[in-house]
Structure 1
Amino acid sequence: MSTELPPKFETVMIIDDNVIDLYITSRMITQNNFAKNVLLYTAAEEAMQYLQDNEDNIPLLPQVIFVDIYMPLMSGFEFLDAYDKLSPSLKKYAKAYIISSTIDNEDIARSINNKNVVSFHVKPITKEFLDRII
């Protein structure tokens, strides 16, 4: 008889314009029982619209947001600027993590020093990284 634990989180949001990275990250999340629901976005502006539309509806919000830095139209940094303008209750509930393949030290420092970013992690995410998220 299996006594599988419930998922660590109810909902996770992944924002990445690379569909292969999006797929790999979502599979890592589901295979490791990290989240029950995964919201996938290839455009940061669409993800931001979802957050704005549901800002006052906590059950629909993700508890964890994984966002890439380099994306067309709205970059991860621009997303974080818009995220900063969201309600304090949303920001307390939905925690943002930068997931990127960048090796640019300025981008890494900018990510780490952003008050709305919990941490920076190089792609692809790993089970060990997911295990460290509380």
Structure 2
Amino acid sequence: MNLAFIIIDDSELDCFIAKKIIQQNDKSIMVATYTDAIAALRQINDNTDMHSDLLTIILLDLRLPIMSGFEFVEEFERLPLSIRNRYVIYVLSSSMNRNDKSRVDSNENIVKMMDKPLTKAAFETIVTEVVAGKR
């Protein structure tokens, strides 16, 4: 299975860490980072025909300026199913808020919430789950 990653986090350090972990484990995986959820959403919407054979895993922070992670998911849900089916969303957050966890758990477009920053073990779990089809 061909995989790619999109990291959406306003912390450049967390983006850097996640990208490094992904590339250290598999240099062939394409990784795009965004500190702005609106720019990431625009890119997803604009590249509807590019890399249609790739399944892209989105690592999404919840606390973002301008457009929060939850607002990103709401906008993502408005995209055509043909686009949405090519993406899997995991939330990476340092939030301990029960309401956030509950909202994530109840959203069918989010696989699960994991602690940030991304670790090698979390990366391996995500890839294993996605490849096994547990998304």
* Length-normalised TM-score, structure 2: 0.85
**What is aligned with 1:33?**
26
Residue type of the partner of 1:109? S
Q: 8 Å contact 1:111–1:117 — kept in the other structure? A: yes
Matches within 5 A, 1:32-71: 32-33=25-26, 36-59=29-52, 63-71=56-64
**What is aligned with 1:100?**
93
1:121 Cα offset (Å): 0.3
Structure having the higher Rg: 1
Can you give the 5+ residue segments of structure 1 that lack an aligned partner in the other structure?
1-7
Can you give the 5+ residue segments of structure 2 that lack an aligned partner in the other structure?
131-135
Q: 8 Å contact 2:94–2:116 — kept in the other structure? A: yes
CA distance in 2: counterparts of 1:13 and 1:60, whole angstroms? 15
**Structure 1 vs Structure 2 CA RMSD:** 1.9
Q: 8 Å contact 1:43–1:71 — kept in the other structure? A: yes
**What is aligned with 2:6?**
13
Residue type of the partner of 1:14? I
CA distance in 2: counterparts of 1:63 and 1:35, whole angstroms? 13
Q: Percent identity, please.
A: 33
Bigger CA drift: 24-33 or 65-74? 24-33
CA distance in 1: counterparts of 2:66 and 2:49, whole angstroms? 26
Post-superposition CA distance 1:100-132 (Å, at most 9, x none): 010101111111211110111011122222222
1:10 Cα offset (Å): 3.5
**What is aligned with 2:69?**
76
Post-superposition CA distance 1:49-88 (Å, at most 9, x none): 0011113434386610111000110000000000001111
**What is aligned with 2:133?**
none
Aligned length: 127
1:95 Cα offset (Å): 0.5
1:42 Cα offset (Å): 0.4
Secondary structure of the residue aligned to 2:5 is: strand
